[in-house]
């Protein structure tokens, strides 16, 4: 005979996790009483704010929930389609939701799981159902059928992070995925939920590759075995193995997973320190929370505001090394290099989703995907607008400006910086405004508008003066902007003085801004190379490489970019073989970081081809150029250079008739990209006329 049914107050106390010892009796009653089971589920659904679903009255009324449900089985309103995975806690299915006409991931928990920890499960499901975050897999529904809990979650089709890591990935892309996962863990912690079983197989990827943490709060239900203490042994913190632990057990698992993913040679010191601290045996020795872990990843691992500057450090030599033409300049804003080494002010009202979307745009940048970058940044802008987040809007504009500059759209990039500056000054956020103004200076110098650059420099200086305690990177950034203005006025010595001052400031803030100092040292070396001071240039290139090796690792892209610039200097001094070896080493590092299709690899291949042509390795040059042209972007200066290099290689092989078509193609490209009458097109035209004059091809 059943004991009396509980009243509504008792059930609500249970749902809130406040029933205490009363919970055991209530669970036993609900297990036997089909009426209370229905009522219990409906109250649970009401408290969660979720739509109602059907719950079977008894075991015979619905399907038998065995170990695996066959396709077509109905669980509430959901119809099972296939098994996605299973474990000690339950089985996950792809299931159709006919009401909303979508496919969901349906996790059906084992009976003993639901009975042993139903109150906590419900409390955590309630918290997760209220959480909307771009890096957390959304809980859509929760219910009970035949005495067993099920959760409906968003179904992501991009596979798991573990599957993604099965293939070789650039370090920057791995850091991006783990930064997203860290944001998800932090969001989960902030609603009072501990994951307890974080691992790459519990991180899902959406169609765009964005990481979303899943299976939160479902891993501490069983208590009978080692694995039942909530976790997978390999990722489990020592205190978790003993049945205890707080949110720092997730940090431990995160550190283990990150260390596994990045295992390999030459990890930068900051990454080694981060993994070691996350996985400290003593929880007190770890970071205080995931917010601190995330801050380190964002500051050191790749900020939304640093890419354009860093990439701008690599010059494109192209045909200049072969025929003495003017170097085609790369776009970008080098004075912004590593600006994000300093954390943003604590008061910055940056919406989490805005930051996530901007960082996804940076990840697209690593693949050279211009349209996708802009889509992500526009989405970030939309989120910031919807939240009324003025600082987020300003930062989105800066991100959009740097993406535009990266793809050579300097005027559009300048316009975005101007808008960001105007908005930042009205918030007011002078820390954002000074960065926008300094970046505008560099763009205007690149655009040949020296007078306007000087006006923007005065704005940057005035904005900096309004900040009571400006960050060193902002002060140094303005010094670099002053150097750009001096450079545009052909005052190379004045520019060198400014760059040295910036380096002194950054050195005083060591080691926090050592990344920015390494980039500025490289810029100083490039300036000295232009001045003919080869000895100083070599010394400062070497200092930059040594510093970047400590900060980012000897095989990092930061080191590779400076190695490339030093290779150009060696080539100018006739050291072609040494330059070729150095450039090939830099290329290997950059391919490891970005993949072979990235724009910077295309530029480096063009430079390598130049060295091959200078050393009369025409066959090697032709093979390299042909391979590079197959992945070169349209309507870019480097593509024009590659077409001309192909012609030069053919001419070196005495195949002048075959060189006519690529020469004409190069001239057409120069006219389209640089405008009619460029020096590059003129020089290519001279070669073309010489070939035709020799009778190699018809007029």
| Catalytically annotated residues | 197
Q: Are 541 and 572 in contact (CB under 8 A)?
A: no
Q: Is the peptide bond before 551 cis (omega within 30 degrees of 0)?
A: no
User: Which residue reads 């159902």 in tokens?
Assistant: 129
Residues 403, 305 contacting (CB under 8 angstroms): no
Could you tell me how far CA 311 lies from the centroid of its own chain? 15
Report how far Cα 170 is from the mean position of its chain's Cα atoms.
11
- At residue 210, the 3 state secondary structure works out as coil
User: In the beta sheet, which residues pair with residue 151?
Assistant: 107, 142
Question: How many angstroms separate the CA atoms of 155 and 188, rounded?
Answer: 18
H runs (alpha helix) in 80-133: 111-116, 118-129
φ, ψ for residue 455, nearest 5 deg: -65, -45
**78 SS3 class:** strand
Rounded to whole angstroms, the Cα distance separating 485 from 492 reads 10
Judge contact between 568 and 606, C-beta under 8 A. Answer: no
| Contact in structure between 570 and 610 (CB atoms under 8 Å) | no
∠ CA 375-367-214, rounded to 5°:
70
Q: Which residues pair with 139 in a beta bridge?
A: 153
Rounded distance between C-alpha atoms, residue 640 and residue 673, angstroms: 8
Core vs surface per residue 313-327: b (16+ CB within 10 A) or e: bbbbbbbbbbbebee
DSSP 3: P
Planar angle of CA 442, 460, 388, nearest 5 degrees: 100
DSSP reduced 3-state for 172: helix
| Locus of tokens 């070669």 | 687
Read off the tokens for 631.
């992945």
d(CA 449, CA 485): 10
If you compute the radius of gyration of the chain from its CA atoms, what whole number of angstroms results?
30
Contact 373, 400 (CB under 8 A): no
Strands (DSSP E) found in 89-218: 90-97, 102-109, 139-145, 148-154, 203-205, 211-213
The CA-atom distances, in angstroms, between 512 and each of 472, 508, 551, 635 are 10, 9, 10, 39
Q: Quick one: residue 318, left, alpha or beta (phi over 0 = left, psi -120 to 50 = alpha)?
A: left
Helix or strand (DSSP H, E) at 552:
helix 534-552
Q: Measuring CA to CA, which residue among 162, 167, 177, 169 is closest to residue 592? A: 169
Phi and psi (nearest 5°) for 232? -100, 130
**Distance of alpha carbon 233 from alpha carbon 249, whole angstroms:** 12
Peptide bond into 511 cis (omega under 30): yes
From 530, 470, 456, 471, select the one nearest 499 (Cα to Cα).
Answer: 530
Angle (deg, nearest 10), helices 430-446 and 390-406? 20
SS3 563: helix
CB half-sphere exposure, 661, CA atoms < 13 A: 3
């Amino acid at each position: 005979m059943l004991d009396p049914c509980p009243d509504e107050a008792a059930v609500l106390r249970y749902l809130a996790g406040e029933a205490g010892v009363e919970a055991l009796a209530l669970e036993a009653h609900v297990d036997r009483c089909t009426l209370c089971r229905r009522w219990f589920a409906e109250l649970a659904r009401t408290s969660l704010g979720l739509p109602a679903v059907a719950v079977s009255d008894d075991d015979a009324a619905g399907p038998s929930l065995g170990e695996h449900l066959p396709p077509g089985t109905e669980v509430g309103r959901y119809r099972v389609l296939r098994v996605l995975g299973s474990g000690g806690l339950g089985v996950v299915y792809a299931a159709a939701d006919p009401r909303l006409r979508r496919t969901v991931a349906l996790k059906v928990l084992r009976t003993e799981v639901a009975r042993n920890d139903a109150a906590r499960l419900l409390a955590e499901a309630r918290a997760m159902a209220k959480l909307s975050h771009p890096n957390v897999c959304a809980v859509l529904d929760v219910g009970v059928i035949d005495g067993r809990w099920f959760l409906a979650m968003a179904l992501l089709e991009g596979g798991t992070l573990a599957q993604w890591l099965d293939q070789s990935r650039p370090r920057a892309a791995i850091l991006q995925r783990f930064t997203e996962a860290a944001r998800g863990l932090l969001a989960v912690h902030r609603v009072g939920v501990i994951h307890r079983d974080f691992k790459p197989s519990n991180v899902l990827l959406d169609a765009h590759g964005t990481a979303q943490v899943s299976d939160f709060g479902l891993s501490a239900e069983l208590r009978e075995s080692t694995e039942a203490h909530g976790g997978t042994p390999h990722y489990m913190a020592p205190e978790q193995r003993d049945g205890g632990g707080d949110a720092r057990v997730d940090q431990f698992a995160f550190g283990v997973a990150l260390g596994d993913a990045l295992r390999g040679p030459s990890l930068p010191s900051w990454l080694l320190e981060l993994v070691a601290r996350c996985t400290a045996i003593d929880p007190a020795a770890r970071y205080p929370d995931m917010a601190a872990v995330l801050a380190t990843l964002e500051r050191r691992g790749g900020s939304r505001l640093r890419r354009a500057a860093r990439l701008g450090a690599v010059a494109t030599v192209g045909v200049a090394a072969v025929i003495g033409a003017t170097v085609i300049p790369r776009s970008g804003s080098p004075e912004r290099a590593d600006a994000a080494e300093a954390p943003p002010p604590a008061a910055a009202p940056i919406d989490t989703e805005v930051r996530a979307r901007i960082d996804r745009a940076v990840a697209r940048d690593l693949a050279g995907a211009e349209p996708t970058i802009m889509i992500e940044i526009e989405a970030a802008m939309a989120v910031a607008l919807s939240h009324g987040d003025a600082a987020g809007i300003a930062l989105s504009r800066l991100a959009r400006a740097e993406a535009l500059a990266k793809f050579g759209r300097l005027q559009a990039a300048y316009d975005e910086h101007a808008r960001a500056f105007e908005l930042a000054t009205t918030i007011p956020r002078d820390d954002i405004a000074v960065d926008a103004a300094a970046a505008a200076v560099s763009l205007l110098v690149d655009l040949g508008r020296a007078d306007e650059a000087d006006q923007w420099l005065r704005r940057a200086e005035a904005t900096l003066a309004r900040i009571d305690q400006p960050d060193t990177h902002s002060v140094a950034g303005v010094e670099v902007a002053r150097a750009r203005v001096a450079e545009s006025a052909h005052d190379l010595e004045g520019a060198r003085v400014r760059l040295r001052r910036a380096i002194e400031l950054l050195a005083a803030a060591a080691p926090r801004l050592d990344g920015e100092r390494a980039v500025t040292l490289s810029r100083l070396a490039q300036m000295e190379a232009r001045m003919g001071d080869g000895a100083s240039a070599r010394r400062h290139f070497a200092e930059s490489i040594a510093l970047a090796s400590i900060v980012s690792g000897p095989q990092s892209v930061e080191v590779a970019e400076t190695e490339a610039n030093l290779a150009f200097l060696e080539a100018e001094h006739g050291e072609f073989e040494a330059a070729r070896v150095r450039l090939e080493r830099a290329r290997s590092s950059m391919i490891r970081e970005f993949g072979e299709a990235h724009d910077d690899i295309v530029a480096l291949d063009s430079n390598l081809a130049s060295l091959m042509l200078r050393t009369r390795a025409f066959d090697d040059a032709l093979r390299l150029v042909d391979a590079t042209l197959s992945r070169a972007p349209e309507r870019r200066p480097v593509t024009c250079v590659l077409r001309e290099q192909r012609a030069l290689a053919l001419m070196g092989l005495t195949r002048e008739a075959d060189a006519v078509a690529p020469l004409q193609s190069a001239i057409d490209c120069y006219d389209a990209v640089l405008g009619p009458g460029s020096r590059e097109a003129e020089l290519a035209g001279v070669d073309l006329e010489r070939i035709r004059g020799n009778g190699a091809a018809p007029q």
